[in-house]
Amino acid sequence: MVFLLAAVAVLGWVLVSSSGEDEVVAAEQGNDISGSQKASLEGPTKPDDDSAEGGDAAATNMALSEAPDAEAPPVALTPERINVSFQRPAVDSIVCTGEPLAYSGEQLIDGDENFGWGASMGDAAGATADMQFPGPVKLATVGLTPGYTRVAPRSKAGCQTVVAFPYQRFVQAVRWTFDDGSSVEQSFDQRPEMQTKPVDVTTSSVKLTILSTARPPGADDETVISEAAFTGTP
């Protein structure tokens, strides 16, 4: 009888112990499920600050690499060669100074307004000047002094130093023609200064054609042009 009671007691202890362990396991599993659900609800983990900054830097670098290059500002461009349809003969000796004076086509692009191209011994309408650049250039402006802007002693002014402009014909209009056959016309005010016209063309040559000139009262019947000028990017 005593043995039977002892066996029953041992069996009861085993059952109670087993039930407690099951409850512990179930509780731990419940905790695991709850943690998983919590992670799912909270969403993905936020990257740290270093990672975010790296992403911003990469995006900035990509934007900079995709941005177009800034266009270079226009600069003065000088043709390396010129051929003209007519060139007034040089003067061996000027009355007031005794110095010689040339009127070559090269003086149209030499950068010195005190010398010029003698385009005609009269009305220069129809006269041309073909100018060649070293290679293709993108022109932004073309320009011309529409007459002779030389400042020097002149016999008709009693050998006083004057601007030659009112003593010569002046250019009223020209045409500029480019490699692709396109052209623009430019009209001028009667002023002794460089006058320019905006253009947007890529070319390796420019042909200047004088369309019309005018002779001020009392002026010599000849056409001299001091300078042609161009700006753009090589």
The residue among 21, 25, 18, 24 whose CA lies nearest residue 10 is 18
pLDDT, residue 73, reads: 95
| Residue whose structure tokens are 């039977």 | 4
pTM to 2 decimals?
Answer: 0.71
Residue range 175-184: mean pLDDT, rounded: 98
Q: What percent of the chain has pLDDT over 90?
A: 69
Structural domains present in the chain: 2-66 (no CATH), 75-233 (2.60.120.260)
pLDDT band at 68 (very low <50, low <70, confident <90, very high): low
Measured distance CA(125)–CA(121) in Å, rounded: 11
